[in-house]
């Protein structure tokens, strides 16, 4: 799959793209069918919410599931990433953020490069986040909210928050967020299941709690140029993989073809 010139220009201007229903209902069903088994596992890759037992984020899924091993090589994700970044890309992080009905907690305002640089010593803010919505995401169930154009601010001041949720995160302060929102405004990344989001490493984003009866499950793949790899190994492999092998795309039907019995 290739992005159009207009989509590339929009990505450069806004800092993100929302591509509705890029994966079919049948493909999303294959992806969702894996989750009960993966979420039930008690292992460090599954982070649970601060209150209760709901899974907040489940990591390294491509090493735990054949289906997700195919998804991280899917041409509808790898193709656009190669177009935007060029060259050899490695799989930096693979997860599903669950935000379960009634209990999914907040993701504070942040941009990912603060963590990638501060924790992992990634030199430049080049990595791309490629998301697939696995549920319908609407205005109520905790959509990811982007601050349009906030990527142009570059590395905004960030501090490590280990208190608010179960997941330590380098967050952006209120005054900086207010300034960025005044400039660019907010966009809620809503859409039907199968919608793809693409955003860069300095785009400020966050999401509020899910107080609805509707789960809000989102797959996330982070790809980073091999030439821009991590330089510190203080976080575990599942938070930033050490395998720098360039990702090679599979065929477009890879999720359904091999899922057949």
Contacting residues toward ligand SIN, per CB under 6 A: 97, 107, 129, 144, 205, 207, 218, 220
112: contact with Mn ion by CB under 5 A: yes
120: contact with Mn ion by CB under 5 A: no
Residues 6+ apart with CB under 8 A from 209: 104, 105, 106, 142
84 versus 144: smaller Cβ distance to Mn ion: 144
Site string for Mn ion, 67-106 (x = CB under 5 A): ----------------------------------------
**C-beta atoms surrounding 212 within 10 Å:** 16
Residue 239 binds which entry of ligand SIN, Mn ion, none, with Cβ cut-offs from 5 to 8 Å by kind? none
Minimal distance, residue 1 CB to Mn ion, in Å? 23
Minimal distance, residue 181 CB to Mn ion, in Å? 17
φ/ψ of residue 84, rounded to 5: -75, -35
201: contact with Mn ion by CB under 5 A: no
What residue has token string 């980073």? 224
- Sheet (strand 107-110) strand order: 159-161, 169-171, 107-110, 205-207, 145-147, 186-188
Residue 3 binds which entry of ligand SIN, Mn ion, none, with Cβ cut-offs from 5 to 8 Å by kind? none
Minimal distance, residue 102 CB to Mn ion, in Å? 23
Candidate ranges 52-60, 70-78, 80-88, 109-117; the one touching Mn ion (CB under 5 A): 109-117
30 versus 133: smaller Cβ distance to Mn ion: 133
**Which residues is 146 bridged to in the sheet?**
187, 205
- Give just the sign of the alpha carbon dihedral 61, 67, 69, 73: negative
Minimal distance, residue 112 CB to Mn ion, in Å? 5
CA distance 254 to 79: 14
23 versus 107: smaller Cβ distance to Mn ion: 107
Packing angle of the helix pair 75-85, 5-14 (nearest 10 deg)? 70
How close are the terminal C-alpha atoms of the chain, in Å? 27
Minimal distance, residue 96 CB to ligand SIN, in Å? 9
Contact positions vs Mn ion (CB under 5 A): 112
């Amino acid at each position: 799959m290739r992005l159009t010139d207009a989509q590339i220009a929009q990505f450069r201007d806004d800092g993100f793209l929302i591509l509705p229903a890029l994966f079919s209902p049948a493909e999303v069903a294959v992806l969702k069918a894996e989750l009960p088994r993966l979420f039930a596992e008690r292992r460090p890759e599954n982070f649970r919410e601060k209150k209760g037992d709901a899974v907040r984020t489940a990591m390294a899924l491509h090493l735990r599931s054949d289906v997700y091993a195919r998804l991280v090589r899917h041409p509808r994700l790898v193709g656009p990433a190669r177009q935007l970044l060029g060259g050899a890309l490695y799989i930096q992080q693979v997860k599903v953020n669950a935000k379960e009905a009634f209990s999914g907690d907040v993701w504070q305002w942040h941009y990912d490069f603060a963590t990638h640089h501060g924790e992992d010593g990634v030199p430049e803010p080049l990595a791309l986040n490629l998301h697939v919505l696995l549920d319908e995401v609407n205005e109520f169930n905790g959509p990811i909210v982007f601050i349009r154009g906030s990527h142009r601010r570059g590395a905004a001041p960030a501090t490590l928050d280990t208190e608010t949720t179960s997941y330590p995160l380098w967050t952006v302060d209120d005054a900086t967020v207010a300034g960025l929102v005044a400039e660019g405004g907010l966009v809620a990344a809503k859409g039907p299941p199968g919608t793809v989001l693409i955003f860069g490493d300095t785009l400020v984003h966050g999401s509020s709690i899910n107080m609805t009866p509707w789960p809000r499950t989102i797959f996330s793949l982070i790809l980073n140029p091999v030439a821009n790899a991590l330089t510190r190994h203080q976080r575990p492999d599942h938070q930033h993989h050490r395998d720098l092998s360039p990702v090679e795309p599979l065929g477009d039907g890879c999720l359904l073809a091999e899922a057949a019995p």
